[in-house]
Amino acid sequence: MNKPAAAPHAASPPLWRQLQVAARLVEQVRRGRSLSAQLAAVEASERPGVQALAFHALRWLGLSQALRGRLAARAPARRADALLCTALGLLAADEDPSYAPFTLVDQAVEAAKRDASARAAAPLINACLRRFLREREALLPDVTQADWLARWNHPRWWIDRLRADWPDAWQDILANAQYPAPMVLRVNARRSTTKAYARRLAAAGIEATLLGAQALRLVRPRPVRALPGFEAGDVSVQSAAAQKAAPLLLDGLDAAAPRILDACAAPGGKTAHLLELSPQARVVALEIDPERSRRITDNLIRLGLHAEVRVADAADTGAWWRGERYDAILLDAPCSASGIVRRHPDVRWLRRPSDIDSLAARQDRLLAALWPLLAPGGRLLYCTCSVFQAEGEQRIQTFVARHTKTVRQAAPGHLLPGAAGHESGLGDNGGCDDGFFYALLEKRPD
């Protein structure tokens, strides 16, 4: 099991306080709130430690809930239960712990005592945690063998869908989701090369490995402000799998100054990558959410790039399309995010089975709406950060069956993180990247 990295002691608030805030976030995820939105509201001094604790708690929430079920006759109130499960997730780690077990117990009890909504449960939390430490060796194998939620830490419907889609790889995918994703950089092709930037990193004492033409993976994650030239736009953070999009769309595109539509573009990583590789491209970037569209603009400004950013629903072409045909369209469609649960461990608990069908219908609408905007001979790259075939191969097969002028070009298809025999990212990254799907479609000339 994985453990959170301990934040630097000198700069961190006390552990009881971090546990208190992390438990509040876990409680809100259980109520259906996004963890990312909540973390943005956490005090900057508390955020690194709290994020590490919350991520760990959500990765192992199935196990900790099952353990709590064995240790307590009934669940305590919401906040106290979230605190108890957060502490159990930390204690259940089988690697070297970030905190001494009895220190963690003491601080979890202190967190309960200092929270009015959890104070009454402090004795129960203390008793459950101490009993777990006494019975750990017997409890863990018993719980994980008896309860699939405890073993895999994903909802049963999610596990069943993966088993149906990937009968030979589903266990690898689930196991891989339990560990933090690597930090991968994209070197700005207008400014430098991966080898040159790797030397800058080495000079700054930062270890990295080469992954591809623009990709570097850090041995240990670092704050972006610590990266040489980040503020100047020399480098960006972007997963290896996501870095496939721009080269796939641009490679072989026969246009000196291509007109490109980046639909559903926020936060702008793929938009920027397109412009880094094709400086003459005229890019329109769409985003339905005004706040997220500002992130596109901010990222482009930092990198010294320009695109026409429009706030619009890509599927509602009548509201934003100005009659131009595009040489290339990138459709990074809204999806379940099932391929990036390493980066967003709350996703597995927020999604519902019905979400997949509704998202698939939305993906179909986007494909149907954007295809007429593509010039004859042009290409559309469809991608999702999903490992579910309903949001990948099934969508493309359905679309091609309905559109006879479609030619499917070579593209990776499904990238499965941690699955034997499946590449995930640029080159061999040891199964340490995201799950993605890519399909490249070309429109036959009239």
Residue type, 61: L
Is 385 catalytic? The answer is: yes
d(CA 230, CA 235): 5
CB proximity list for 325: less than 8 A, separation 6 or greater: 259, 373, 374, 375, 378
- Residues 42 and 21 sit within 8 Å (Cβ to Cβ): yes
257: helix, strand or coil: coil
CB proximity list for 385: less than 8 A, separation 6 or greater: 241, 242, 335, 337, 338, 339, 340, 434, 435, 436
Q: Which of 424, 420, 421, 427 is nearest to 438 (CA)?
A: 424
Radius of gyration of the chain (CA): 23
Burial group, residue 279, by CB count within 10 angstroms (0-12, 13-18, 19+): exposed
d(CA 317, CA 104): 54
CB proximity list for 176: less than 8 A, separation 6 or greater: 342, 417, 418, 419, 431
d(CA 247, CA 410): 12
Catalytic residue among 128, 335, 385, 432: 385
- Residues 22 and 86 sit within 8 Å (Cβ to Cβ): yes
d(CA 266, CA 285): 8
Burial group, residue 205, by CB count within 10 angstroms (0-12, 13-18, 19+): exposed
Which residues does the annotation mark as catalytic? 385
